[in-house]
Amino acid sequence: LAGQFLQLEQEQSALLRMLPPFQDPVSHIYHPLDYAWELHSDFVRRYCSTPKRVLFLGMNPGPFGMAQTVPFGDVWHVREWLRLEGTVNKPPSEHPARPVLGLSCQRAE
């Protein structure tokens, strides 16, 4: 089930990349399933391995800009409570005021 879900996400992400580019004033677009795929797929494999009645979609960007860890914004919860592991890379075009620090982020949300 988790593998099917991840495959569907990759297909949908590919469709999103085919959209025309945004115009001004949009200067940066983050695709967290690209730069944080490893951490996200760990979450899906751990917690989406059996059928569920509810599926939450979306992402909480948190008070510091784009989420540091997908799909959660608070690093402590990702690392300690959910026990997720994985690399969070930098997005190809990172806004200087909204850096993605991944699991090394020291701020709590």
Distance CA(63)–CA(74), nearest Å, equals: 10
Determine the longest span between alpha carbons in the chain, in angstroms: 43
Domains, the chain, with CATH or none: 1-104 (3.40.470.10)
Distance CA(103)–CA(101), nearest Å, equals: 6
User: pTM for this one?
Assistant: 0.80
According to DSSP, residue 104 is labeled: G
For 11-27, what is each residue's pLDDT tens digit? 999 999 999 999 999 99
For 52-97, what is each residue's pLDDT tens digit? 887 666 665 555 555 566 555 678 888 898 999 999 899 888 888 8
Query: How is residue 62 written in tokens?
Result: 């948190």
pLDDT score recorded for residue 18: 93
